[in-house]
Structure 1
Amino acid sequence: MTDFIGSVWWMIVSLGLLVTFHEFGHYWVGRLCGVKVLRFSVGFGRPLWSRRDRHGTEFAIAAIPLGGYVKFLDEREVEVHPHERGQAFNHKTVWQRIAIVAAGPIANLLLCILLLWAMFVIGKQDYSATVGRATGMAATAGLGSGDRLLSVDGRDVITLGEASMALTAAAMDRRDVTLEVLDPADQLRSHTLPLSQLPAGFDERRVPILAGVYWRAWLQPPLVDNIVKGSAAEGHLQTGDLIVAIDGQRIDSVEQAISEVGSLGRRGGPAMIEVLRGGERLALEITPRQGKDGKGQPTWQIGAGFAQSYSPAYDTLLKFGPLQSVTVAVRETGRMAADSLAMMGRIVTGKASLQNVSGPVTIARVANISAKRGVDWFIQFLALLSLSLCIINLLPIPILDGGHLLYYLIELVKGSPLSERAVAAGQYIGLALLAGLMGLAFYNDILGLVPR
């Protein structure tokens, strides 16, 4: 229940802030162009509070806090007195109308850069792209525990997220990638990861794992949290022991320890379990016993319990001075925009699944998770969402800003505005497209809530 309330709250905060900034872009440029603004509303529906300024603009906070709008004086919507026609939106030049409409997405773009600048000045804590364990394809390619990725196909990566995104994009494009890594001995090495060999229909959300790459931040250290009374581990293991090897096999994670214990049980007989205890490495002989897991299914156990929750420590800090952060923020905005456009292109061409289209439920969940992680993560989330609003609004779909810009470009070419009939037809098409897109987004959101 707490997560639900938090998700709703942070979604309202996020969309309220970003959409208000978007509409302020329209408002500000509209005023510069001499257009009379009738209303600037934060939210939709019945106004809960409002006031008018000396220009006659009503500023309002409405009951439904999911967005907002700016209403200009326009002869197509309201009756305009003859002495105010010069202030009507539809009486402005086509270039002025283009500037007013484009100002909203541009405001979101500038806000993205500003937010990223603030994030880099404050400092963004993150996880490095360090391999914790390599199996399958990754192990065959030569990757190993402790290898830190420096670049993917010549593109520099610093964080786990950047590396995962680069690997996922390459997998969607069905191409192999060259990885530059720094191994635990500080030696630079190069490996080729054959992502083109992933099976058709692979889960795009699990590309690193399917390739055999388990990031170090994902792996919970096998630190013993409790000992079950009367179990095989009692009298041998102690709380605080770190399991480092089982039967000569190196162990890096809880998942690996559980798997290895299962293998030992099926094989039968005792095994040497090596642990670190107080700086000393000990080898202890323990025989797994058959028991039941939390679902009542038979399983092999030694009676050592691990912590139920695990939060890995950050090992990377992205922090720059105020001036350098400007350059870094602009560059990061360009990278994010290129990745977003490339993903949209893959969805359109069928290289990426339609499951990548998400809606308000996903936005709410990610907003809540980001807010819990800290102000730096939440700022990054806001920046990405602001950039997404910019890109989506520039799509040439009627109703969106991009659709209006398309109308005005056609007007520039033909020398006169489109007919009302053509505009109305475009609006209906735009509504249908948006309805379909929103339906798909909601479907994916609901599908994401169903346990797999």
Structure 2
Amino acid sequence: MQGFLLSLVAFILAIGILVTVHEFGHYWVAKKMGVKVLRFSIGFGKPLWKRISGADPTEYVLAAIPLGGYVKMLDEREGDVAANELDRAFNRKSVWARSAIVLAGPLANLILAVLVYWIVFIVGITGIAPILGAPLPGSAAEEAGFTEGDKIVRIAEMPTPTWDTAFVALLDNIVENSEVLEVTVETDAGATIHRRLPINSRELLADQGDLIAKLGLQRWWPTVDPVVGGIEPGGAAEAAGLRAGDRVISSDGQPVETWADWVRIIRASPEKTLQIELLRDSSTLIVPLTPRLLQREDLSIGFIGARETQSQKLIDEKLRTVERYSPGTAFYKAIQRTGNMISVSLGMIGKLFTGEVSLKNTVSGPISIAQFAGQSVSVGVDHYLSFIALVSISLGIFNLFPVPMLDGGHLVYFAIEAVTGKPVSERIQIYGQQVGLLLLAGLMTFVFYQDILRILPS
């Protein structure tokens, strides 16, 4: 319940910030263009709070449904306009002024992303250094010469101080249909080596899964003994009688050498009773343990609610890192990160239309986004801010889609008007709105359905 509330609050706060910034973009440019703004609303539905203020009065509204917002401007198409205010009506402005007002919303989201990333890079964002474990036997990574302990320092031209940046660089190369991944690594001995890893973008994006593993690479993780460090209340481990300090010897007669071995066995055994041999206080005992089912995306895995505590010190010493820059460098990095994410997003959209990726693997609905919000804020404020920046980029790009009812649809109408010299007829615009409403309703239904599938058991 606590996790649900955290996700809900984090989601509402993030959406509130993003919608406010988006609508403020429209509002600010409309004011600069001399358009009278009648209402600035965050949310839809019944107003929870409203206030009229300003020398040129505008009604400011906070409404009940926090999934969007709008700026209502003076417009002859929506009601009578006094003769002395005709020059302040939106529809009376030039096509370029109207285009600027509409474009300002998505641009405000992209600017917000840059500013948030800038703050994050100045303060510093924690991450895990991209150090590799042993490559998978027989894989292209093994043939390319990758070895355990290699630290990825650059992919193509992009520095990779953390796994997050390495993942962005990898996606950037995939959407560009690169056939070879140029990877610079630093070995355990301190040598810098350039390795070339063949990749097939279509195969990597064919289905969900760990892109790193698909390349034949593995993340390095400390090897620790299979000793239980802690038990979660109400979990399968507690129900079976496991205690902190228990050392796992075997499972169904299969020896367990490391904690990673133990995790693999548990994950592969959802709802299957295992006979676990334990060492407790110099005595051995056998207990039945039935891992519970945990659904993750398209995977069904076992979960018992036990954790180890030995690796934390090793992780802090070797893996944990902070990506931090001076204000000037941080601003450059913020622009670069925003540009990379825009490039990756547009590339994925392009591959969606060519059939190289499926819609269910490229879109997330409100439930998934709320889960990501909760996960990021539980990690730290730095990761939550990065989440907001990423969703802000997505919101800006989405609103530029050439679909009626979105900002991009209005820009298409204005482009036609600029070419033909006359506005698109109201009849066509009404038809366009109906089509746009159907498309958006269909998309929302699809993403909600996918969200529900992700959280329900098979």
User: Which range, TM-score by smaller chain?
Assistant: 0.7 to 0.9
For residues 408-447 of structure 1, the aligned pairs below 5 Å read 408-447=414-453
Counting aligned pairs with the same residue, the percent is 39
What count of residue pairs does the alignment treat as equivalent? Answer: 402
1:27 aligns with 2:27: yes
1:348 is aligned to 353
Q: C-alpha offsets along residues 166-223 of structure 1, whole Å, 9 cap, x if unaligned?
A: 4456567484423221111111223333433996885333221233322125x67436
Match of 1:6 in 2: 6
The gaps in structure 2 that reach 5 residues or longer are 231-243, 250-256, 266-283, 293-305
Compute the displacement of 1:446 (Å): 1.7
CA contact (8 A) 2:373 2:384 kept: yes
Q: Equivalents in 1 of 2:225, 2:82: separation in Å?
A: 76
In structure 2, how many angstroms separate the alpha carbons of the residues matched to 1:408 and 1:346? 28
Correspondence for 1:149 among 138, 147, 152: 152
What is the root-mean-square deviation of aligned Cα atoms in Å? Answer: 3.4
Distance 1:320 1:331, change over 3 A: same
1:255 to 233, 255, 260: 260
TM-score, scaled relative to structure 1:
0.80
| Partner Cα distance (1:258, 1:7) in 2 | 27
Quick check: 2:224–2:310 contact (8 Å CA) kept in 1?
no
Match of 1:316 among 317, 321, 339: 321
Preserved CA contact (<8 Å) 2:182 2:196: yes
Matching residue of 1:213: 217
Alignment of 1:45-444 (within 5 A): 45-53=45-53, 54-136=55-137, 137=139, 138-167=141-170, 173=177, 175-196=179-200, 203-216=207-220, 221-222=224-225, 224-225=227-228, 254-256=259-261, 292-295=288-291, 307=308, 313=316, 315-355=320-360, 356-444=362-450
The letter for the 1-side match of 2:116 is L
Asked whether the 8 Å contact 2:401–2:408 carries over to 1, the reply is: yes
The letter of the residue matching 2:329 is Q
Matched, 1:15 2:20: no
What CA deviation, in whole Å up to 9, does each residue of 1:101-146 have, x standing for no partner?
1111111111111111111111111111111342231334322221
Instruction: Give 1:450's aligned residue.
Output: 456
Task: Note closer, same or farther for the CA distance 1:3–1:144 as it changes in structure 2 (3 Å cut).
Answer: same
Change (3 A) 1:220 1:49: farther
Superposed CA offset, 1:262-316 (max 9, x none): xxxxxxxxxxxxxxxxxxxxxxxxxx998754349xxxxxxxx962898754622
Question: Which amino acid counterpart does residue 383 of structure 1 have in structure 2?
Answer: A
Q: What residue is the counterpart of 2:273 in the other structure?
A: none
- TM-score between both structures, scaled by the size of structure 2: 0.79
Contact 2:205-2:356 within 8 A present in 1 as well: no
Aligned residue for 1:145, secondary structure, equals coil
Q: 3-state SS of the aligned residue for 1:357?
A: coil
| 1:221 to 1:73, Cα distance in 2 relative to 1, 3 A | farther
Contact 2:168/2:341 (8 A) holds in 1: no
Bigger Rg over Cα: 1
- Unpaired segments ≥5 residues, structure 1: 228-237, 244-250, 261-287, 297-304
Change (3 A) 1:133 1:164: farther
Please list the CA deviations of residues 334-366 of structure 1 after superposition, one character each: whole Å capped at 9, or x if unmatched: 111111111111112111222221111111011
SS in 1 for 2:195: strand
